[in-house]
Chain A
């Protein structure tokens, strides 16, 4: 340290004194413009997490200068987190590192050279066409993102499926939300939550499991916190997590269980609900059936009761360890069942498990059993991690097994319907789903995929066990195109980097966690030659049609020809998707035209089949007659709830008999600790954006390993010591944070850091859920040891070599 502690304190005291007497200090302001300087404000949606906060971008002389929340928005009510306040610093010419020209190298060991768009698009088309001619249609792949606009995901998948005849269309939501999709479909018959954020203000009990909402969804957490603070005695918060986190600060009851015992805990709560007679018999008789096994065999309530016999609170408390007692399980079940409205919230702690779908089912079970659904405050609500994982990827057809508007690829009727709507020959889209994410990168490793387009994501860092998959991405016989705005671990492995327009530099829709679609219209110019993805794909497809002499490829983009790329082109794509593809589907968005979306301060929740309904904001709660137009349309009886989801022909909610199943890799004598990973509030995913905002980088410049004080004492680890974290796959060396966060026997590492020594996905395991194919990021076995005392560290980001 260049300054003695005493001196530092002395000088800081001066600062404090200055603040007490209300004086401003001199500063060198690098950001010369302020919010107060903005000469226009432009509505849009936050670029970062899945909350869907609405905000306005302040622009002065064509330059982005500030962001502020929109108070009338039903998502954030005007509030923003630090990321939402600051991401304008990445826009336009605000950041010098933005990609401005297409960059190309034939070999991955060569330096990049700037090329023109014409050259870049020719190369992209030629490489994909050559791979197809030589190795077949499934030798090419698209790997997209829950951060792409819906229009982008839609046009990419249309060209891949309808044009290139492959379902090798995947995206990073496979890594975060696939288990939630599987859970909703198998429990409720339809993807995405039944209710909305509006339940935050109506719930009397929050059951937060596997979610550090305070850091991963801070603006939504504010609403939960407000609800609790305003109703301290009547609103209960249960936080179930192996790690005590900032979310736990508002909890009345913290259930700290050993990693991987969550399924037993949830079954034990169901056991109490059944045993104590807390269940809602009428709700069960009217709306539910019980099922088990791969063949979805229907069983009776008695069989379910028998199944639960094995999950007594006493037995499960012994299994869960941590601070779990039978009394705590009983108390949690009681609060859950007896509250006027219970809202469950979860995210990656539940989804990123090798039985993530089952874990989702078991949360839904609790709601079905107690009838805690469809009424105010009662909801089984999965929080989404990315801003457009729901709208773009889950709804827009961005995964290998689904076509737009929740149509499974393998269902002939629905596939042919899509072909007809696109005006392409029947049979053009193959019936077999493509590679899911881990299988896709395994195929890259094996050289089965010869050309891959990675859009707006960085799998070289974000895949579990990433060293294994970086080997494939390094192969010289795998041509890699990457579209992005900044250098990342993945652009390091690319042949062709295409510079794209960033948020507010292009137009399009994001669909957030609560089925809400919101439009962001271009407000500032992209730097250099960066272009919107929709333009890139259209131009690429035209070249592909020539290379492959296939007019059907051109047909896929024909409706979009001649449209200017900043507004008309995305609007035409959105119109095709909503008016044609969502018509008659459960996510009917026909009322949510650009015109309607621009009129509203926030957006529209589907189903929204008409403009009139959309202008009212759409559907707050699905399946409720009088509140959901499709519930009225599809009503088969006089019951108030109509579960018309496309996946359950019996129109019932399914209570699943799902047994306890631990993680794929358990600690043992060689690797005695559980390793878990997660987000911190200041950073987003791989920190390629947030790491370039000075305030955010300084707030959390490196990843840490959190160690429980009891473990730290045993191993002689003190705060700041450098600690080696080793698994069967790789190792990291990180500074230690010693505090009661993770439970004893568990360590926790933030996953944003790009430094090779601190990039935790080199250590995590790539086991995945056999149903959802979502990897088990949250649990693997590791060992730790102190390697040295504290060391000065440098934050690290990938930069382009000049």
Chain B
């Protein structure tokens, strides 16, 4: 029930934001104390699917953490800079197909590898 409510609220918020043209939203405001919480601690509860996808991916297995792609509170990006990917995947970044984002081919938080 709780999860269904959460999903529903997420969809509703997304819908409102898109339809109202509200292109921006902020991470919930946190105190400095609250900022001392690893991202995954809350996101395990509030975005469990994403957490699960990440945890079972090669990034999860090798401890590549949320902030490495998304930044921390002051520079947070829900859609990361691709140059962050390039910190580890520079060769792939340099030869990516034009007009494609990394995650167009390697789904975010799953990170399947092309075979």
Contacts and interface: CB of A to CB of B under 8 A. Distances in A.
Contacts of B6: 9, 13
8 contacts: A11-B26, A11-B27, A21-B14, A25-B76, A27-B76, A31-B75, A85-B88, A699-B67
Given A17-B11, A17-B17, A30-B74, 13 more contacts: A1-B31, A1-B34, A18-B14, A27-B71, A31-B75, A34-B83, A66-B83, A68-B86, A68-B87, A68-B88, A80-B87, A218-B63, A226-B58
B78 A23 contact: yes
A26 B67 contact: no
B58 A225 contact: yes
Contact of A215 (B61, B63, B72): B63
Interface string A693-709: 01101111100000000
A255 to B, nearest CB: 20
Interface string A216-231: 0010011001100100
B25 A78 contact: no
A169 to B, nearest CB: 36
A2 B34 contact: yes
Contacts of B64: 82
A615 interface: no
Given A31-B75, A67-B87, A68-B90, A698 B38 contact: yes
A793 B33 CA distance: 8
B45 A694 contact: no
Interface in A1-15: 1-3, 7-15
A26 B11 CA distance: 21
Contacts of A793: 36
Given A25-B27, A225-B62, A695 B88 contact: no
B17 A18 contact: yes
A35 interface: yes
DSSP class of B's interface residues: helix, strand, loop or mixed? Answer: helix
Contacts of B75: 27-31
B74 A681 contact: no
Contacts of A19: 78-79
A3 B28 CA distance: 9
A250 B61 CA distance: 8
Interface in B36-59: 36-38, 42-43, 45-47, 50, 58
A69 interface: yes
A147 to B, nearest CB: 22
Nearest to B93: A68
B74 A82 contact: no
A250 B60 CA distance: 12
A214 interface: yes
Contacts of B88: 68-69, 78-80, 85
A12 B13 CA distance: 11
B89 to A, nearest CB: 7
Best-surrounded residue of A3, A9, A226 (most CB of chain B within 10 A): A9
Nearest to B49: A16
A95 interface: no
A29 B75 CA distance: 5
Interface of A: 1-3, 7-31, 34-36, 66-71, 78-82, 85, 214-215, 218, 221-222, 225-226, 229, 246, 249-250, 681-682, 694-695, 697-701, 792-795
A13 B87 contact: no
B85 to A, nearest CB: 10
Interface in B86-107: 86-91
Contact of B79 (A23, A28, A30, A229): A23
A700 B39 CA distance: 11
B65 A82 contact: yes
Contact of B91 (A30, A67, A71, A229): A71
Contact of A795 (B34, B36, B38, B90): B36
Given A3-B34, A13-B9, A66-B83, A71 B90 contact: yes
Nearest to B32: A794
A31 to B, nearest CB: 6
Contacts of A21: 14, 17-18
Contacts of B86: 35, 68
A12 B47 contact: yes
Interface in B1-36: 6, 9-11, 13-14, 17-18, 23-31, 33-36
Best-surrounded residue of B29, B72, B88 (most CB of chain A within 10 A): B88
A30 B75 CA distance: 7
A304 B91 CA distance: 52
B115 to A, nearest CB: 10
Contact of A214 (B13, B14, B63, B84): B63
A229 B35 contact: no
A795 B38 CA distance: 13
B46 A13 contact: yes
A794 B33 CA distance: 8
A643 B83 CA distance: 47
Given A25-B78, A30-B74, A82-B67, A229 B58 contact: yes
B79 A24 contact: yes
Contacts of A25: 24-27, 76-78
Contact of A16 (B29, B35, B47): B47
B34 A12 contact: no
Given A20-B14, A30-B74, A82-B67, A9 B46 contact: yes
Nearest to A26: B24
A229 B58 CA distance: 9
B61 A698 contact: no
A27 B42 contact: no
Nearest to B40: A699
Contacts of B62: 214, 218, 221-222, 225
Contacts of B43: 12
